Amino acid sequence: MEEIRYKQRICSDQTKIEKFLTDSRVGTLGMCDLEGKPYSIPVNYVYWKGSIYIHGMGSGKKNHILIKNPQVCFNIFEELGTVADNVPSKCDTAYFSVMIFGKAELVEDMEEKTQALSQLMNKFLPGFFKDKLSRQFVEKYHSALDNMEVAVHKILPLELTAKENPADMEHMFKAGSRQG
């Protein structure tokens, strides 16, 4: 992987990175089909046991590409606002981002699949269901659209980088403000 050139933006705080991965809700999954055409889509995900888990229909473009070419890039980004400066070229964006390069694998172990789907439900619908998601339900569930079972992919991070430009509230742009 290429080295990050803007060294002062590198974040190596593992606790901060893991909290960001755990708390964020949507990431962009970047893939490339066998003809070399790129394809990226936003997906809900859960960061669990050091990996990214995503789910979806057992058919469709995303699933077909991941089966044929499991090499992926996964990006999570949060914009914190615009940094204002009297010099236009010094205006900037405050942000935090994580980039993961890895390999996606279809989760076929029913126990891991059930646990990953449970993690997703707990993240996106905490406390909504009174009963725990069962393995039997996951085994029987099929999409009404294509009658395929739900697919769960696990992205194993091979390389991970994080960058940040923290928000300095004193210099953040506020709508309606003017240069000094």
**What number of other Cβ atoms are within 10 A of residue 138's Cβ?**
19
Question: Could you tell me the residue range of the domain that residue 109 belongs to?
Answer: 7-166
Specify if 66 maps to a domain: yes
Question: Where are any strands of DSSP class E within the chain?
Answer: 26-32, 38-44, 46-48, 51-56, 71-83, 92-106, 151-165
DSSP, collapsed to helix, strand or coil, labels residue 121 as helix
Res 97 pLDDT > 80 = yes
pLDDT in the model for residue 100: 96
**Parallel, antiparallel, or unpaired: how do β-strands 26-32 and 38-44 relate?**
antiparallel
Specify if 179 maps to a domain: no
Q: Determine the longest span between alpha carbons in the chain, in angstroms.
A: 64
The pLDDT tens digits for 61-92 are 899 999 999 999 999 999 887 887 777 777 77
Domain count, the chain: 1
pLDDT in the model for residue 129: 86
pLDDT in the model for residue 149: 77
Specify if 148 maps to a domain: yes
The pLDDT tens digits for 9-45 are 788 899 999 999 999 999 999 999 888 899 999 999 9
Cα–Cα distance, 69 to 63 (Å, whole number):
10
CATH code for the domain in which residue 101 is found: 2.30.110.10
Cα–Cα distance, 39 to 29 (Å, whole number):
8
Cα–Cα distance, 79 to 105 (Å, whole number):
30
